[in-house]
Amino acid sequence: MCEGGPPWRVKEFRFADGQEAHEGDERRPELVVLIPEVLNSQYGMYVWPCAVVLAQYLWFHRRMLPGKRILEIGAGVSLPGIVAAKCGAEVTLSDAEELPQSLKNCQRSCELNNLLGVHIIGLTWGQISPNLLSLPQVDIILASDVFFDPEDFEDVISTVYFLMKKNPHAQFWTTYQVRSSDWSIEALLYKWKLKDIHVPLQSFNADKEQLASSLLPGRHTIEMMIISLAGASPT
Ligand SMILES: C[S@@+](CC[C@H](N)C(=O)[O-])C[C@H]1O[C@@H](n2cnc3c(N)ncnc32)[C@H](O)[C@@H]1O
């Protein structure tokens, strides 16, 4: 498809309990999400395997989402944020302020899924910008595949820390792809007084090569973490 900009196509994701969803099977609850992908080499233009895994985590925990204030950072085409909004959360999507095309993708994802109440803002990691300062408290911060360049790791973590200082009970739900055994955020988490819990994929039915009717997870090694302030009591 093309509306004057670069061409794009729509990918369908089907979330269901238990086995993979099959079209026409009405016995199990199912969520269908449509995601537009731009045929372009920029990172935020298509769905990354990590996004499917994080979206599956949201779907698995969907009963706790209604009313939760959720911010997705580095959202790109925003699959996790769209699933959260479809499940009743109050969602804000964000991507780098300097990348209007990524913000346009967030917008298009909302439109395709008939989501009118989702906010979209420019939020660049590591910048104490007016948009960051004016954000209300959030309960959950989402990010899939934002730990792909070690030069950005501390910027991501400092943004998360800033948001957690506004709401010390906030949690950061994030998935990352293991690309190098040398990369670690443990020292940065310690420096920024944050703690992490590793969430096994099998605990939310995500230890599969195919998820949400998508083969994207494939054989990539993807990990899920929940990060919170080291001093915060469990909620
Ligand atoms: C690997 S893509 C992941 C996109 C999406 N979360 C997913 O998993 O499908 C990384 C995303 O981070 C965004 N990004 C890159 N640098 C950024 C920065 N400095 N601040 C905010 N977002 C950034 C990109 O525009 C892109 O959407």
| Span 13-22, pLDDT tens digits | 999 987 545 5
156 domain-assigned? yes
- Closest ligand 1 atom, CA of 45? 27
- Whether residue 1 lies inside any domain: the answer is no
CATH code assigned at 84: 3.40.50.150
Candidate from 41, 42, 43, 92 with most ligand 1 atoms within 8 A of CB, to mutate: 43
- Residue 234: the pLDDT is 59
Q: Phi first, then psi: give them for residue 225, nearest 5 degrees.
A: -130, 150
User: Residue 143: what pLDDT?
Assistant: 98
* Percentage, residues of the chain above pLDDT 70: 91
Q: Which of 82-96, 111-125, 144-158, 214-228 has the lowest mean pLDDT?
A: 214-228
Q: What separation in angstroms does the CA of 90 have from each of 17, 51, 70, 85, 140?
A: 23, 19, 6, 6, 10
User: Do the domain assignments include residue 50?
Assistant: yes
Question: What CA–CA distance (Å, rounded) separates 211 from 191?
Answer: 35
Cβ–ligand 1 distance for 74 under 6 Å, the answer yes
Tally of structural domains, the chain: 1
pLDDT (0 to 100) of residue 235: 57
Ligand 1 center from residue 74 Cα (angstroms) = 4
Residue 2 lies in a domain: no
Residue 143, strand partner residues: 174
pLDDT for residue 46? 80
pLDDT at 1 over 90: no
Q: How far is the CA of 233 from the centre of ligand 1 (A)?
A: 30
- Look at residue 2 in the predicted model and tell me its pLDDT: 54
Q: Which two tokens stand for residue 48?
A: 């990354």
Domain housing 207:
8-18+27-229
Task: Reduce the DSSP state of residue 15 to 3 states and report it.
Answer: strand
**What was the pLDDT predicted at 181?**
76
Ligand 1 centroid to Cα of residue 43, in Å, is: 6
CA atoms within 13 A on the CB side of 166: 16
Total Cβ atoms within 10 A of residue 139: 18
Q: Is residue 234 part of a domain?
A: no
Q: How does pLDDT run across 160-193, given as a tens digit for each residue?
A: 999 999 999 999 999 999 887 778 899 999 999 9
Q: Is the pLDDT of residue 114 over 60?
A: yes
Closest atom of ligand 1 relative to the 43 alpha carbon = 2
Average confidence (pLDDT) over 65-87: 97
